[in-house]
Structure 1
Amino acid sequence: MKIAQIAPLAESVPPKLYGGTERIVSYLTEELVAQGHDVTLFASGDSITNAKLVACSDVALRLNPAVKEHLPHEVVMLEEIRRRAHEFDVLHFHIDLLHFPLIRDFADRTVTTLHGRLDLPDLKPFYKAFADTPLVSISNDQRRPMPPVSWSGTVYHGLPRDLLPFTEKPKGNYLAFLGRISPEKRPDRAIQIAAKVGMPLKMAAKIDNADKAYWQTVIEPMVKSHPNVEFIGEINEHQKAVFLGNACALLFPIDWPEPFGLVMIEAMACGTPVVAFRCGSAPEVIDEGVSGVLVDNVQEAAENIEWLLRLDRRKVRTAFEKRFTAERMARDYLGIYRNLPGVRTRAAPVRRANGQSLDLKVVA
């Protein structure tokens, strides 16, 4: 199959630091190439891939101090995609909604994975206007706020099998919080849980400009007042393996409709069990009693830590391998690609004048 993957330009593929969407685009792209498909990646010029790279900006827009506004660069990328759309059997978008008017004429061989929250009121009239555009959700819970649309499937995220090594015996006696410092991620709950159980907490997290006030007024004072809490800051992929692998457990104390929660399966890949609040996708990702536990409040989380630390870390890793590898993710997406109406049409045999068929099916 000739497949176009279209990534956001804010971060490189894969991202240097934080960037869940770009990380998933990278894992999917590389796995599709490994499975023998002809893949073209539209992304920033500092992206690293085995696919054909179409550089749509010199570097990731967030890392370029000369870039003040992302939209012009994104529109230039969309024009390049419009010009070359005929080259591909399927075009897979990961850029939210800017491309929808552009793809009207060939939407039947596109799919758009929605990576973000869908409960924002401004989104409903938009998706009503584009109700026939094929969409993919990253959890079933993510779909709940949406009006009737054309869902092609739900595809859970996956990681390369050997990306994060299994750690049977963690060297640290700490709880881990990994992600973003923001009100919906509830790092305050993580601090409260660690304080209740008397265990060290290490926090590796990005602080966006939009969340600096929350950090300064709520979280930083809590960190300073709890001597068992260590704030590490944003970490890279290599540091993540060590950080998660040596943790006794990952705390995932969210307070919002999390569309997926990549960090949960990253922890599982390391064999590290997860304490997750029962929000969003968490009940779909966590196999309760195997890879972690679901809780409803801080007290319940604290009460379950001792039991959680007795879980078999090999079974945690096995749960990851069964459900959340990049190979499985790529297979799921290939199934969706092949069932798109426009892909099936391009794959149909063409009849010669003498009645014989000329098979033009897409090689997949």
Structure 2
Amino acid sequence: MKIAQVAPLYESVPPIAYGATERIISYLTEALVVLGHDVTLFATADSRTQAHLHSSTPTALWRDERVWDTTSHHLRQLDAVIKHSSQFDVIHFHTEPLHLPMQRFLACPSITTMHGRLLPADHGPLFATFPDAPLVSISDSQRKAMPDANWRATVHHGLPLDEMRYSQEDGDYLLFVGRVMPEKRIDRAIEIARRAGLPLKIAAAVHPGERAYFKETIWPMLEASQSFVEYLGEVGGESRRALFANARALVFPIDWEEPFGLVMIEAMASGTPVVAFRRGAVPEVLEHGVSGLIVDDVDEAVQAVQAVRDVGAIDRARCRKTFEKRFSAERMARDYLAVYRDLVDNRASAANIVDSDTDALQA
């Protein structure tokens, strides 16, 4: 198949550090190429891929201090996608839904993966306006806010089997990886580490809109906890892999309806157990007692961390095997291929019906 992948332009594909959506787009694109498909990636020029790269911006927008209005750049990218749409069998959008008014006029079918949180007040009117726009969810949990949207499939994220470094040895610290947001609850992670008696490493990105929250709320906590908390900022590449592989457990103390939680499967791929709060997609991704421990409050989280530390409550080898079975990039790519083929077949069937009706009228 000839497939276009359309990435947001905030980060490169893959990102140099934080960027869950761009990381998934990269894994999917490369897996599709390995499976023999002709793939074009619409992304920033500093992206790295085996696919054909079509770029409309030189660098990741969030890393270009000259850029203020990101929408203008995404509109230019959309124009390029529309102009080239006749070259593809299917176009897969991972961007903000700016393309929905135009998807009806593309020369080929398209699908949109919704990577973020769905808000009825915002997405409800949008999906009602474009009810024919086919969508993919990244978890069944994500759909709950908008159950009547035009969902074609749920496709869980996946990683290349060699993306993370697997370790059989238990580490000596807890790990928090993510973005500095109130909903991610770094404050909970610090409390859990303090009460469990384990050091905590925090690898967290601070995006422009969250700088005030970081400075006013999180930084004072970090300064007050220097004896057992180490803040590392954004971490990528081999340093990121080492962080996951050498951790005793990943703490995922979220306070929101997380659509997926990529860091959970990165930890599983490393053999590192996850201690996560029962919100959003957590029960869908984690198998309690197999790849992690699901908890409902800080007290239970502390007990879970102590169980992992003291009695090895989660077997690291079994954790890794669960990842290989459920969350490989190849499985993700094959799931998406099934969606693409269904879209292409439906477009062909609709065209045949129109042709038949035209022939009947002419007769």
TM-score past 0.5 threshold: yes
Partner residue, 2:359: none
| 1:75 to 1:221, Cα distance in 2 relative to 1, 3 A | same
In structure 1, how many angstroms separate the alpha carbons of the residues matched to 2:84 and 2:215? 47
Partner residue, 2:184: 185
Partner residue, 2:222: 223
Partner residue, 1:15: 15
The answer to whether the 8 Å contact 1:157/1:324 transfers is: yes
Greater shift in the superposed pair: 114-123 or 269-278 = 114-123
Residue 16 (structure 1) shift: 1.2
Partner residue, 1:112: 112
Quick one: which amino acid aligns to residue 332 of structure 1?
Answer: D
**Fraction of identical pairs, as percent:** 51
In structure 1, how many angstroms separate the alpha carbons of the residues matched to 2:298 and 2:107? 45
Partner residue, 2:316: 313
SS of match in other structure, 2:13? coil
The answer to whether the 8 Å contact 1:29/1:51 transfers is: yes
SS of match in other structure, 2:203? strand
SS of match in other structure, 2:98? coil
Structural RMSD (CA)? 1.7
Partner residue, 1:336: 339
The answer to whether the 8 Å contact 2:260/2:282 transfers is: yes
SS of match in other structure, 2:198? coil
* Runs (4+) off by over 6 Å: 347-350
In structure 2, how many angstroms separate the alpha carbons of the residues matched to 1:21 and 1:241? 18
Match of 1:327 among 326, 330, 333: 330
In structure 1, how many angstroms separate the alpha carbons of the residues matched to 2:47 and 2:120? 31
Partner residue, 2:355: none
List per-residue Cα deviations over 1:140-197 (Å, max 9, x = no partner). 0101111522111000000000011210014x41000011111000000000101111
Q: How does 1:200-215 map to 2 (within 5 A)?
A: 200-215=199-214
Partner residue, 2:266: 266
In structure 1, how many angstroms separate the alpha carbons of the residues matched to 2:73 and 2:218? 35
Residue 214 (structure 1) shift: 2.2
List per-residue Cα deviations over 1:10-54 (Å, max 9, x = no partner). 111111111111110000000000000000111111111100111
Quick one: which amino acid aligns to residue 138 of structure 1?
Answer: I
Unaligned runs of 5+ in 2: 353-363
List per-residue Cα deviations over 1:226-274 (Å, max 9, x = no partner). 2111111110121111001000000000001111100000000000000
| 1:101 to 1:345, Cα distance in 2 relative to 1, 3 A | closer
TM-score, structure 1 normalization: 0.92
Partner residue, 1:174: 173
**Residue 50 (1) aligns with residue 53 (2):** no
Residue 213 (structure 1) shift: 2.5
Partner residue, 2:360: none
SS of match in other structure, 2:202? strand
In structure 2, how many angstroms separate the alpha carbons of the residues matched to 1:289 and 1:59? 43
Residue 217 (structure 1) shift: 2.6
Partner residue, 1:362: none
In structure 1, how many angstroms separate the alpha carbons of the residues matched to 2:350 and 2:329? 29
Greater shift in the superposed pair: 133-142 or 55-64 = 55-64
Quick one: which amino acid aligns to residue 175 of structure 2?
Answer: A
| 1:181 to 1:349, Cα distance in 2 relative to 1, 3 A | closer
In structure 2, how many angstroms separate the alpha carbons of the residues matched to 1:223 and 1:63? 25
The answer to whether the 8 Å contact 1:135/1:150 transfers is: yes
In structure 2, how many angstroms separate the alpha carbons of the residues matched to 1:43 and 1:241? 24
TM-score, structure 2 normalization: 0.92
Quick one: which amino acid aligns to residue 185 of structure 2?
Answer: R
Quick one: which amino acid aligns to residue 255 of structure 1?
Answer: D
In structure 2, how many angstroms separate the alpha carbons of the residues matched to 1:244 and 1:304? 18
The answer to whether the 8 Å contact 2:180/2:186 transfers is: yes
The answer to whether the 8 Å contact 1:158/1:325 transfers is: yes
**Residue 37 (1) aligns with residue 28 (2):** no
Partner residue, 1:353: none
In structure 2, how many angstroms separate the alpha carbons of the residues matched to 1:349 and 1:261? 39
Quick one: which amino acid aligns to residue 252 of structure 1?
Answer: F
Quick one: which amino acid aligns to residue 291 of structure 1?
Answer: S
Residue 8 (structure 1) shift: 0.5
